[in-house]
Amino acid sequence: MENFQICTPTNLVFGKGTQHQIGELIKPYGKKVLLHYGGGSVKKIGLYDDTVNSLKKAGVDFVELGGVVPNPRLSLVQEGIKLCKAEGVDFILAIGGGSAIDSAKAIAAGMCYDGDVWDLFEGIAPLTKALPMATVLTIPAAGSEMSNSAVVSNEEKGRKYGIGGDCIRPVVSIVNPEYFTTLPKNQIANGVADILSHMFERYFTHTKNCDVTDRMLEAVIKSVMKYALVVINDPSNYEAWAEVGLGGIIAHNNWLGIGRQQDWASHNMEHELSAYNDIAHGAGLAVVTPAWMKYVYKENIGMFVQFAVNVMGVSHSHREPEALVQEGIARLEEFFGKMGLAQTLGELNIPESAFEDMAKKATGAYFGQERGIGSFKKLMWQDVVEIYKLCR
CB of 78 to a second copy, least distance (A): 31
Q: Residue 328 to residues 53, 194, 321, 380: CA-CA distances in angstroms? A: 49, 19, 11, 26
Give the binding range for a second copy (CB under 8 A) out of 15-23, 96-104, 106-114, 280-288.
Answer: 15-23
> How many residues lie near a second copy (CB under 8 A)?
43
Interface with a second copy (CB under 8 A), residue from 63, 258, 323, 380: 258
CB 26 within 8 A of CB 33: yes
CB neighbour class for 239 (10 Å; exposed up to 12, middle 13-18, buried from 19): exposed
Q: How many CB atoms lie within 10 A of CB 318?
A: 11
Residue 379 DSSP code = B
216 binds a second copy (CB under 8 A): yes
CB of 239 to a second copy, least distance (A): 4
Residues 6+ apart with CB under 8 A from 153: 71, 72, 73, 74, 159, 160, 274, 275
CB 376 within 8 A of CB 204: yes
234 binds a second copy (CB under 8 A): no
92 binds a second copy (CB under 8 A): no
229 binds a second copy (CB under 8 A): no
Nearer to a second copy, 238 or 366 (CB): 238
Identify which of 122, 82, 77 has the alpha carbon closest to the alpha carbon of residue 104. 77
Q: Is 137 left (phi over 0), alpha (psi -120 to 50) or beta?
A: beta
57 binds a second copy (CB under 8 A): no
Identify which of 179, 152, 196 has the alpha carbon closest to the alpha carbon of residue 15. 179
Give the binding range for a second copy (CB under 8 A) out of 127-135, 245-253, 291-299, 383-391.
Answer: 245-253
**Backbone phi and psi for residue 365, each to the nearest 5 degrees, phi listed first:** -60, -35
CB of 18 to a second copy, least distance (A): 7
262 binds a second copy (CB under 8 A): no
243 binds a second copy (CB under 8 A): yes
CB of 213 to a second copy, least distance (A): 8
Binding site for a second copy (CB under 8 A): 1-18, 208-209, 211-213, 215-216, 218-220, 222-224, 226-227, 239-240, 242-243, 246-247, 250, 255, 258-259
